[in-house]
Chains A and B, each alone.
Chain A
């Protein structure tokens, strides 16, 4: 009996070890990039233009480009995703049509990012003739993050208790009035959580914008949605793999990686905090 106990204890420790190995790996990535990236960060690096094809200078146009892409993405994807979720939770009945929508959302969530790139290239860049541009890139990214926003919004809507709807309906409000005034306001913070997660994903993706929006170096900042942009993830990719002096400009690469990581993980962090706050605020 006792040796069996010891045996079990050993196995528990092995399981713990394997789990914490993943933790160590993550911590190692974060620390490595932080330690090597921090010295490269300066005011000039954040606000300056790249010089000598990225070997010196800053990454300001890439930060700004990512910002433009993300804003474009969210402006398109957030309302569509929210309305889609409202339909699914408040209106849709159990039917073949609803099942098909759910199936489509799952499929969309599983489409490889590079295939979104091909799709964006075929539809937005070539067929609709937007060219490689902020517009084409944002629309492509919007299609990509739509499932994230729908799923999170649905969860937020579902967490609003039924009696909130019934009370409003009983007082004579129409279905839409009920949703608009008594459901959406309470679901909104949860929906925003989903939106932030989507933004985080859009900001970090490279493959879709590779084919639809990004350029490595542009002499001027974009002036309209039909212009190409520089973007942080693409900038890092080129510096790390295509640059003739890739080995020498490691600090620039680490600096870019750190800014990107900070942006994406920061957004995720905000989403998590928001979720916890919402849960505390609305305890039904």
Chain B
């Protein structure tokens, strides 16, 4: 009997340690980002990161200013979010409130395909099809702009926004709708004035999760935004995001060099940005009972 108890205990502890693995990995991620980035603080000094020029390979003076990379990421993210919001939210409302059951059965899995397309394939498509289109449409010298990246990333964020917004809309109590309809409001009025406002916090959370996905996207932006590290808020210029910088430059650096450490600082900034976006949306979704407590 005692042996059996011991066995049960061992099993429990084994499973528990597997369960805590996620915590350990998250801690290790933070630990290793800081560990690799840390010596930068001594030399050349953390102040080097707060500059307006990113020019890590230079014969005169290397510059590790993060601002152009941050503005690049912010510009692409904001543009992509602005493009994705109407599609994501209106799509979610349409699928959950307007579409017939048959339509829904087709639409939902089909739009989920979009989430499954590898980012490198989307980037390739952007490079071959979308970039020339944007170049001709706006009469630009190059189609590799912040806008091109934003259009493609918007389509990456749409499935996230749609599916979570849809859950939020579905979780609105039927009584709200019935009350509104009983008071004489039409179906459309009920949707936009009762259902959507009631689901708003979930919808906002879905947008933030979508943004988190966009900020962290690497391959697509690297392939289509032109990769020029300049500070600009003009959607028609080439920009270089934080993710693309890491991916493009890490292959050529010496491990342990200043440039190597600076790229880990880029990673830290990126991690903190996505972490806070996810944390806030997680809190919101949890508050409304859309995530297990």
- List chain A positions with a Cβ less than 8 A from chain B: 4, 8, 11-12, 15-16, 18-19, 21-23, 25-26, 29-30, 32-33, 80, 83-84, 86-88, 90-92, 94, 97, 99-119, 121-123, 126-127, 143, 146-147, 150, 174-176, 200-201, 203-207, 210-211, 233-234, 236-237, 240-241, 250, 253, 257, 260-261, 264-265, 268, 272
Contacts and interface: CB of A to CB of B under 8 A. Distances in A.
B218 A112 contact: yes
Nearest to A92: B19
Interface of B: 4, 7-8, 11-12, 14-16, 18-23, 25-26, 28-29, 32-33, 35-36, 86-87, 90-91, 93-95, 98-99, 107, 109-114, 116-125, 127-129, 155, 158, 186-188, 209, 212-213, 215-219, 222-223, 243, 246-247, 250-251, 255, 263-264, 267, 270-271, 274-275, 277-279, 282, 291-293
A143 B32 CA distance: 14
Given A32-B129, A115-B270, A103 B124 contact: no
Contacts of B251: 210-211
A146 B120 contact: no
A253 B19 CA distance: 41
Contact of B15 (A8, A91, A113, A200): A91
Contact of B118 (A87, A88, A150, A260): A260
B106 to A, nearest CB: 9
A103 B282 contact: yes
A27 to B, nearest CB: 8
B102 to A, nearest CB: 14
In the A-B complex, the 10 residue pairs with the closest CB atoms: A112-B216, A204-B118, A87-B19, A122-B32, A83-B18, A110-B278, A87-B15, A104-B22, A207-B218, A104-B23
Given A110-B275, A111-B274, A117 B121 contact: no
B22 A211 contact: no
B70 to A, nearest CB: 14
Contacts of B110: 23, 26
Contact of B247 (A101, A106, A207): A207
Given A22-B91, A104-B22, A118-B246, A111 B216 contact: yes
Contacts of A90: 15
B120 A236 contact: yes
B118 A114 contact: no
Given A122-B32, A122-B35, A29 B122 contact: yes
Contacts of B120: 204, 206, 233-234, 236-237, 260
A15 B98 CA distance: 9
A22 B155 contact: yes
A205 to B, nearest CB: 7
Nearest to A12: B98
A108 B264 contact: no
A260 B263 CA distance: 29
B167 to A, nearest CB: 14
A84 B293 contact: no
B215 A112 contact: yes
A119 B33 contact: yes
Contacts of B155: 22, 25
A94 to B, nearest CB: 7
Contacts of A117: 246-247, 250
A102 to B, nearest CB: 7
30 contacts: A16-B98, A18-B87, A19-B87, A19-B90, A19-B99, A21-B87, A22-B155, A26-B111, A29-B121, A30-B113, A80-B21, A83-B19, A86-B18, A91-B12, A100-B23, A102-B291, A106-B291, A112-B243, A116-B29, A118-B267, A146-B22, A176-B8, A176-B11, A204-B117, A210-B247, A211-B251, A257-B121, A260-B120, A265-B113, A268-B113
